[in-house]
Amino acid sequence: MKRISFKDVGLKYVLSPYDEPVVHVKPGQNLVLEVEDATSGQIRKRGDRRDRRKIPFGNPVVGPIYIEGAEKESTISISINEIKPTIGQGATYFSEFNEVYVAGTPIFKFMGISFPREPKICQIKDGQIDFSDRIVIPYQPMIGTIGVAPHLEEESISSGVLPGRHGGNMDLPDVAPKSTVFLPVFHEGALLYVGDAHAVQGEGEISGTALEMPAEVEIKVDLLEGKPINWPRIETESAVMYVATTSGGRSLEDAIRTAFMELITWVEENYGLNRFDGLMLCSQVGKVRIGNLWTAATKIEKKYLNAIKESLLSCHDPH
């Protein structure tokens, strides 16, 4: 099993088709990636601050990882096996970014006020997070940023914002151990980047910051040749999800519609359910998961897919 640490290969802040790969791997290979937290290590204790004068960018990633055989019109899969905190703690905090994320406009700067800058440092131990003296949260680790180098027309994309068809900073809690992420390929080798580990995060990530932590992430990469996808897909133990994002003129409403259309089309192609029946089915049992405020994932539980498969098998049973 190969191990890659940001301490050896450095930190990247864009998902770029122009970076030299930090490693070449074969499909089916396991990797352990040591990733830094979203502050690039700036916050470790009370009194520390997110200082954008020293490190202007957030959400550093490790990569790119070159996957042998990955070419345009193929899909890569990344199975997440384990996410372990490396220093036993995480931090959540405010900076100028959070004020714009929450308000949508620079109203805080206009009013001459700001969020408090003292970070909250939370210990992680025995599957729990000590949020405060009174509040304990279950440890539910996830990967906030996972994506490939985008299409050349989009050039390099920040790892801190702008999720899209390439994945990126989706901040979906379902990108967690025992889940598999499927991503389209726009360049030879796919050029995968991973980072931005969270100890826990709620839907919407409404403050703009999760419980950010440095971590070791164990993944398995694989390749699906001749099976292109338009947007990221996620499979968990219980459900299948499709992801779409805002930006480029798409509202969150458009992202939700797009994600459902991709999901329904995928169900038709893989399970034979007529897309209009699929549309009606998703209107009854479909679910929407919000990552950050730019990312929506639509979901259908596998029990319904299994029911479709069983129905088709019974129709073809000669007995």
- pLDDT for 314 equals 64
Of the listed ranges 70-79, 104-113, 135-144, 307-316, the least confidently predicted one is: 307-316
22 band by pLDDT with thresholds 50, 70 and 90? very high
Q: Do 113 and 47 share a domain, yes or no?
A: yes
Q: Do 159 and 272 share a domain, yes or no?
A: no
Q: Do 150 and 268 share a domain, yes or no?
A: no
- pLDDT for 8 equals 96
Q: Which two tokens stand for residue 111?
A: 């009013």
Q: Which two tokens stand for residue 130?
A: 């000590």
Distance CA 213, CA 38 (A): 7
Q: Which two tokens stand for residue 80?
A: 């997440």
Pairing of strands 136-138, 128-130: antiparallel
- pLDDT for 318 equals 57
Q: Which two tokens stand for residue 46?
A: 């009370």
3-state secondary structure of 107: helix
Q: Which of 176, 195, 226 is the last residue of a domain?
A: 226
Task: Give the residue with greater pLDDT, 302 vs 73.
Answer: 302
Q: Do 310 and 277 share a domain, yes or no?
A: yes
Q: Do 133 and 91 share a domain, yes or no?
A: yes
115 band by pLDDT with thresholds 50, 70 and 90? very high
Distance CA 152, CA 167 (A): 15
For the stretch 188-200, pLDDT in tens is: 999 999 999 999 9
310 band by pLDDT with thresholds 50, 70 and 90? confident
225 band by pLDDT with thresholds 50, 70 and 90? confident
Mean pLDDT of 60-87: 96
Sheet holding 23-25, edge to edge: 23-25, 61-67, 192-198, 142-148, 167-169
Q: Do 216 and 265 share a domain, yes or no?
A: no
* 70 is a domain residue: yes
- pLDDT for 109 equals 85
312 band by pLDDT with thresholds 50, 70 and 90? low
Distance CA 272, CA 199 (A): 38
Query: Which residue segment(s) compose the domain that 8 sits in?
Result: 2-226
- pLDDT for 105 equals 83
Identify whether the C-beta of residue 64 lies closer than 8 Å to the C-beta of residue 150.
no
pLDDT at 159 > cutoff 60: yes
pLDDT at 154 > cutoff 80: no
Distance CA 254, CA 247 (A): 10
Residue 31 φ/ψ, nearest 5 degrees: -135, 150
- pLDDT for 226 equals 83
Sign for the pseudo-dihedral over CA of 91, 94, 97, 99: positive
Distance CA 214, CA 197 (A): 7
- pLDDT for 147 equals 96
Phi-psi region of 196 (alpha: psi -120 to 50; beta: other; left: phi over 0): left
* 94 is a domain residue: yes
* 276 is a domain residue: yes
Whole-number average pLDDT of the chain? 92
Structural domain count of the chain: 2
- pLDDT for 106 equals 83
230 band by pLDDT with thresholds 50, 70 and 90? very high
* 232 is a domain residue: no
- pLDDT for 52 equals 86
Distance CA 142, CA 18 (A): 27
pLDDT at 152 > cutoff 80: no
Peptide bond into 141 cis (omega under 30): no
Mean pLDDT of 165-187: 96
Pairing of strands 23-25, 61-67: parallel
Mean pLDDT of 279-306: 96
- pLDDT for 162 equals 79
Q: Do 189 and 63 share a domain, yes or no?
A: yes
Q: Do 308 and 212 share a domain, yes or no?
A: no
Determine the distance from the C-alpha atom of residue 254 to the mean position of all C-alpha atoms in its chain, rounded to a whole number: 19
pLDDT at 62 > cutoff 60: yes
Distance CA 112, CA 272 (A): 58
